[in-house]
Amino acid sequence: MRLAKFLAAAGVASRRGAEGIVRAGRVRIGTESVTDPARDVGPADVVALDGALVPGETPRVVFAVNKPAGVVSTARDPQGRRTVVSLVPSELRLYPVGRLDIDTTGLILLTNDGELAHRLTHPRFEVPKTYRVVLAKPPVRETALAALRDGVELDDGRTAPAQVRRVAADTVELTIHEGRKRQIKRMCEQVGHPVRRLQRIRFGPLELGELRPGRYRRLSPRELKQLTQALENHP
């Protein structure tokens, strides 16, 4: 197993974060300082981070959280704002799978499995995410829906076609599999309807359901299997 993947599986950080930790010279294998994240780690190797032993793979856990507005989607915040990780009391080192803007609410996942987090958020795996969007300047007409379905030209390129369903004169459900910064808001602004409220209601096969704001639940083995199956067509 590569060193960065080993650290991610041990819950140290996401795979990308683990790569940065290794390159910073904070990791040793035995007595050797290692800076190559691709270095192989064998069953007999002793790995240490900042002088502390890194145990082998820990049990994988994933939590579904209903993020309230005003909570940041990070493990810690230098400005002292409340973080989504603080909503789930756990002795494990958890970190969010992707991000939601501070004013966006709804379903976000927390895990100690860096490899799973990487696969769920990387564009190559095309994991769909569905949002309920309340829009300004109603009613939302068919021309705007058609533009979203075709793909919208943004300053960082054209978006992939979205799935869109109108549920009220000012409300749509919109599914995308990309993860650009403020993508939903920029798409809707581009078709003439600035976003008033944004809530993520589905992540891959998982639904927010009746989970109340600020509450969480641990995913069942069946749901973990569903997440894994959602990635099987993208090795």
Residues 6+ apart with CB under 8 A from 132: 106, 167, 171, 172, 173, 198, 199, 201
- Which candidate, 14, 1, 36, 198, places its Cα nearest to that of 93? 14
- For 39-76, the DSSP string reads -B--TT--EEETTEE--SPPPP-EEEEEEPTT-BSSS-
- Of these residues, 101, 155, 156, 170, which one is catalytic? 101
The reply to whether 101 belongs to the active site is yes
Which residues face 65 on adjacent strands?
Answer: 108, 216
Identify each DSSP E strand in the chain by its residue range.
Answer: 27-29, 32-34, 47-49, 52-53, 62-67, 95-97, 105-111, 129-135, 153-154, 157-158, 163-168, 171-176, 195-203, 206-207, 216-218
Helix ranges (H only) for 25-179 are 114-121, 142-150
CA atoms of 106 and 108, how far apart (whole Å): 7
Going from the C-alpha of 207 to that of each of 39, 98, 107, 130, 221, the distances in angstroms are 38, 16, 8, 9, 15
Catalytic residues: 101
